[in-house]
Amino acid sequence: MSDSPHLLLVEDDRQLLAMLDALLTEEGYHVDTAADGQQGLHLALTRSYDVVVLDRGLPAIEGLDLLTRLRLRGVVTPTLVLSALANPADRVAGLDAGAEDYLGKPFDLDELLARLRALRRRHLDTARSLPLPGGRLELDTRSAVLGDREPVRLSTRECDLLAAFATRPGTVFTRRQLLALVFDDAESDAAVDTYVHYLRRKLGRAVIDTVRGRGYQLGRGR
């Protein structure tokens, strides 16, 4: 996978969308774009991002409604709201909806880039440990700690797969989605089933739930 940070940009102003896409790409981000809230919701639920930049006045699904839906689904990607609605009450509404930062339009490009860098730094400082049912996943050591058991070491691929589930605990992933997120060099959905089996063998069957006819999700610790 690319080492470039992945950013989702959701903005319905096509000219601004194109300008920010070019600017952020030049800054080293891998950028996905969406011009309405429905497309933004789909991308945020099916792909992994390091940061989201989100407009409020979106067609299909309004920006703060989109953000609320993501937080309810367990998506914790740090989000900066970029909006012409910039009075104190609007900022409070954005932060209460789950945004980590809020920047009014018009805005200074250097300030936007600096805020995104700060968001990513803060997120990296706090995201090295992810909750699991009955324990946690330590990303730096690639180990799972469950209850009073000794830490269980995981392979890089096992850790990446478990992290995909742990960052979105309410999301049901299809095999194809997991293949794209974690197994970008694999050709068969069977790779997903194989590594789910490996994780269950090491950590117990309850760590990952099978959702019949749909795929897998993080276990609920039954």
Radius of gyration for the alpha carbons in the chain, expressed in angstroms and rounded: 18
Give 77: exposed, middle or buried? Use CB within 10 Å, 0-12, 13-18, 19+: buried
Give the global pTM: 0.62
What is the distance, to the nearest Å, from the Cα of residue 15 to the centroid of all Cα atoms in its chain?
Answer: 26
* pLDDT given for residue 12 in this prediction: 95
Does the residue 1 lie in any domain?
A: no
Q: What is the mean predicted confidence (pLDDT) over 187-195?
A: 88
Q: Which has the closest alpha carbon to 7: 29, 22, 25?
A: 29
DSSP letter for 187, please: -
Give the confidence band of 2 by pLDDT, cuts at 50, 70, 90: very low
Average pLDDT, the chain: 88
The pLDDT tens digits of the residues spanning 115-127 come to: 999 888 777 655 5
Q: What is the mean predicted confidence (pLDDT) over 23-44?
A: 94
> Domain tally for the chain?
2
Of 26-40, 57-71, 72-86, 197-211, minimum mean pLDDT range = 72-86
Q: Are residues 22 and 122 both part of a single domain?
A: yes
Give 58: exposed, middle or buried? Use CB within 10 Å, 0-12, 13-18, 19+: buried
CATH number at residue 46: 3.40.50.2300
Q: Are residues 116 and 13 both part of a single domain?
A: yes
